[in-house]
């Protein structure tokens, strides 16, 4: 299965960073949303280091494991490219972006979140998720904030 291979999913995530940032830029230019991220040194530090580390440990680390264990306890866990635990975690991740981002941007983090969750499930580590999260944010800053 294509999404059962960590290398394939990681390659999709690497390509997804620049493509996602360009899609956000296009949506902004078409007037569907307003994006004006701060590019101050503090904001860049937060987006490239702090957010990826904290969010990945919280969501792809603790919450994904908790959701999977809870679903297994009730006998409703599943395997496959999009597990219920990953879907729950990703929806919560997107929802947590709502207080400080537009609805479009918050929904826009759902697909990258699903990819990061799948990578975590395949590798058992949050480290590649942290690096890819920083990659997504770097592209967001490079394309959308320029």
Give the whole-angstrom CA distance, residue 130 versus residue 91.
18
Task: Read off the tokens for 121.
Answer: 């499930």
The residue ranges of every structural domain in the chain are 2-144
**Percentage of the chain exceeding pLDDT 90:** 49
Q: Of all helices (H) and strands (E), which one includes residue 136? A: helix 127-139
Confidence of residue 34 (pLDDT cuts 50, 70, 90): low
Label residue 146 by pLDDT band (50, 70, 90): low
Rounded to two decimals, the pTM is: 0.87
Over residues 15-37, the mean pLDDT reads: 74
Query: Tens of pLDDT along 54-105?
Result: 999 999 999 999 999 999 999 998 988 899 999 999 999 999 999 888 888 8
Q: What is the mean pLDDT of the chain?
A: 87
What distance in Å separates the CA atoms of residue 111 and residue 13, rounded to the nearest whole number? 10
Residue-level pLDDT at 36: 61
- Extract the tokens encoding 115: 């990819």
């Amino acid at each position: 299965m294509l999404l059962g291979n960590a290398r394939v999913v990681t390659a999709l995530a690497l390509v997804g960073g620049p493509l996602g940032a360009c899609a956000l830029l296009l949506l902004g230019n078409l007037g569907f949303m307003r994006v004006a991220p701060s590019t101050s040194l503090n904001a860049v530090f937060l987006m490239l280091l702090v957010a990826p580390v904290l969010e990945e440990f919280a969501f792809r680390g603790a919450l994904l494991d908790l959701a999977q264990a809870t679903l297994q306890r009730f006998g409703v866990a599943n395997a496959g490219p999009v597990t219920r635990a990953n879907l729950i975690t990703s929806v919560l991740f997107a929802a947590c972006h709502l207080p400080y981002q537009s609805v479009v941007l918050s929904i826009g983090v759902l697909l990258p979140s699903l990819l990061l969750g799948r990578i975590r499930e395949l590798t058992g580590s949050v480290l590649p998720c942290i690096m890819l999260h920083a990659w997504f944010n770097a592209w967001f800053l490079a394309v959308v904030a320029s």
